[in-house]
Amino acid sequence: MIDKAYLATNENIWSGRNDGEDYDLQRWHQRVDVIDLSTSEIPPLAENQKGIALIGFMCQEGVKRNKGRLGAIDGPYELRKACANLPVHFSEELKVVDLGNIQCLNEDLEQAQINLGQLITKALLSGYQPFVWGGGHEIAYAHYLGIRDFMDQKHPGKTLGIVNIDAHFDLREPNPLPSSGTPFYQIAQDQKERGEDFNYLVIGIQKNSNTKRLYNIADELGARYISGRRLTEADKVGTTHKLVGFMDKVDFIYQTTCLDVFAAHYAPGVSASAFNGISPNPTFMKLFKKIHKSGKVISSDIAELNPTYDIDRRTAKLAAALSFEIVKD
């Protein structure tokens, strides 16, 4: 099934301004190697070499089931275009590959999640850190499946922590089907069946975006959260302490960002915009960087980029700025 769902990236997407071939003049489009997995294998890394594997998740079925605005299926395409002209500020030895996309065929979200999980596992086993671009936030359960299988093979007994930057808990129970609003509930149930802890921290949560029931479920599952109103200079010590305390207790981190966490004037192009979302201000960016400089991030993604509703490509540019921070040295 994964062969049918796979779509290689068109190399022409990775194009843009060319200031020269010297390394300190280069932009992302000059460094990203596009790999067609239908004809090639994931390139091997040299000993001690690091690699980033870009993967697109062309899926909005979870958003559709969750009654959100459609259009996120084109998110990976737009994010590639937005990142193409970013200047290179990462090591010359870092290998960045674009492994293509997983599509959701025939509204079969569950199979699409399995397919994405398998590709993430494959990238991890090849030594790369996956960086996945969605698509709806149903990406999270797929991502967990891939990381879980990798850890079972290579790091049994190690603990996984999830840091979700989001206005929503996404802890709804499937009713009856899973959606973009259920991934972390599904993960919690899987972890419970495996006899493992559910280590979940949400940054940016908004009371007017979650029912009281969802807060109760979060408390019952032991989830931790930082309110969006706490992402200020005045609260930076407390929020940083809470984040560091969480990261210190786990071995690996899966970091996921839902773009609807940001206020609508920063991120209009999402499946569910928020007028009072957070700002990508210095306080937030310091927290974001701290996560990715921790040395514990095993894989990450950005979800809910919806080009249909983007204004002046603001959301795509914001997502590209976050991508820049994840990949740069």
Establish how many alpha carbons lie within 13 A of residue 22's alpha carbon, considering only the half-sphere containing its beta carbon.
3
The rounded distance, in Å, linking the Cα atoms of 15 and 119 is 25
Phi, psi of 205 (to 5 degrees): -65, 145
The rounded distance, in Å, linking the Cα atoms of 77 and 53 is 15
Terminal Cα distance for the chain, rounded: 37
For residues 133 and 301, the answer to whether their CB atoms sit within 8 Å is yes
Say whether 310 counts as a known binding-site residue: no
Say whether 168 counts as a known binding-site residue: yes
| Helix, strand, coil percent content, the chain, rounded in steps of 5 | 40, 20, 40
What six digits make up the tokens of 270? 């999402």
**Type of residue found at 312:** D
Q: Which residue has the tokens 């206005």?
A: 167
**Type of residue found at 279:** S
Beta strands in the chain (DSSP E): 6-7, 32-34, 51-58, 95-103, 128-134, 160-165, 199-205, 224-227, 252-258, 297-303
What six digits make up the tokens of 133? 């671009």
Closest CA to 14 of 75, 73, 85: 85
Say whether 74 counts as a known binding-site residue: no
Say whether 166 counts as a known binding-site residue: yes
Known binding-site residue numbers: 137, 166, 168, 170, 258, 260
- Give binding residues for Mn(2+) as ranges: 137, 166, 168, 170, 258, 260
